[in-house]
Amino acid sequence: MKKIRVRYAPSPTGHLHIGNARTALFNYLFARHHGGEFIIRIEDTDLKRNIDEGEKSQLENLAWLGIEWDESPEKPGKYAPYRQSERKEIYQPLIDQLLASNRAYKCYCTEEELEEEREAQRSRGEIPRYSGTCSQLSVEEQMAKEAEGIQPVVRFRVPRNAEYRFDDLVKGEIVFESDNVGGDFVILKRDGMPTYNFAVTVDDHEMQITHVLRGDDHIANTPKQMMIYEAFGWDYPQFGHMTLIINSETGKKLSKRDGGILQFIEQYRELGYLPEAMFNFITLLGWSPVGEEEIFSPAQLIEMFDANRLSKSPAAFDAKKLEWINNHYIKQMDLEDLTKMAIPYLVTEGRLEAELSPERFAWIQKIVALYQPQMSFAAEIVELSNLFFTDHPVLDEAAKEVLAGESVPVVLEAFKAQLETMEVVDAPTVKAAIKAVQKETGIKGKNLFMPIRVAVSGQTHGPELPDTVELLGREKALAHLNQVL
């Protein structure tokens, strides 16, 4: 059996999008599950749209996710080069071959003429398609056009009344009529660069790609690529088109205009999401394991990945589920590692100095420990730990309600006296002090704890009260108490 070879082929036109990351991830899991090879190829023929650092950003973010590849531009194998812009010498002889066999022809129509033709078709209620104006030009007519200085494109002759069918890995059998693909399509642009459909077909064949797994927005390209395979007498790879990712709230395709959803891997990295959590979450977007479990390591996902379990229905992007999965991984983290991850966010906010003494680090580590069970991502530490870095916060209605209780002044005065006389302010001593206040005042339960919590922290909910007082320190805790009193 032929060795499985799959590829992820991004354009260097922007950062790594969730949808593209999923394509890369499914290809990677498929290859590794079958002991095959995973290749990265850069599709950079659209020179106008390429951005500096686009390729670097794609590769860095894929590596961060934990995806490893066997061949790429910076890890070339025997099918190099891996950038389409460097493969023109491979494409040109094949274009010439199609021209010589009359499977393609030069087209001299200008953009203005083509737009005019499309407008006329639209006005007649027809779907715009190239009518084949240049498909039968004689050699003399072609020479006359070139004498005028018109740079031609090359178009592929679409077979008439032909049927193209393939068994899609995800969707089952798909059938296309050749007359519905929009007429003879361009395979070589005026600038000498091949178009996507031509280059991708040639590259997949030349690089021995056995399976093409991609988003289902590529389905319409498949018959065009099959025509090119057929024209050269090449075997098709097995195609599989994954369903789109939709916004779970609107039910519509995830759009880059969906302001409420972060859509680029870089944005999640910047917020302090963990790569293994992202790997886990993205794999569940359009693929389901057997059973109810949802937390898996990359090794487990490689072992269990089955392309037959790719979903036929759109995958809903659920930001809350991602937070839940990331929280699971954060709870498993080593506390010191999580603290080191959280510190830069506090430094950026001006709450911590860049260089921390061992004592200061130990203090911040205790704060991180308080919030580790509830943190969804590392940047959240800024908001969660507010009370340790700001003056007494503004009290909300619930906090004011607690402080309106009849016995509140008695409790707070008694606790203040305890706090002032403590030799050491730590959690066990604070716990003992609260018990002493209970004994002294006869007040217990909520009426005892809640006024102290609100007065010290300004919050009705939060970490354990003794821990909170210890980390605030005597001076700050007293200042807050006095302000309330």
Report the binding-site residues.
256
For residue 68, what are its two tokens? 């490893």
Any idea which residues carry the catalytic annotation? 256
Consecutive 10-residue runs of the chain (485 residues): their mean pLDDT?
Answer: 94 90 98 98 85 89 97 96 95 98 97 94 93 95 94 97 96 95 95 94 98 96 98 98 90 75 93 98 96 96 97 94 98 98 97 95 97 97 92 83 92 96 95 95 94 93 93 94 91
* Residue 256 confidence (pLDDT): 67
| Cα gap 478→57, rounded to integer Å | 50
What's the gap between Cα 67 and its chain centre?
13
- Positions of E strands within 199-357: 211-215, 238-242, 245-247, 315-317
Report the binding-site residues for ATP.
256
pTM for the full model?
0.91
| Cα gap 306→228, rounded to integer Å | 30
* Residue 325 confidence (pLDDT): 98
Whether 391 and 457 have beta carbons less than 8 Å apart is answered as no
* Residue 247 confidence (pLDDT): 87
Whether 284 and 294 have beta carbons less than 8 Å apart is answered as yes
Please state whether beta strands 238-242 and 211-215 pair in parallel, antiparallel, or not at all (unpaired).
Answer: parallel
* Residue 165 confidence (pLDDT): 96
In sequence order, what are the residues at sequence separation of 6 or more whose Cβ sits closer than 8 angstroms to the Cβ of residue 344?
none
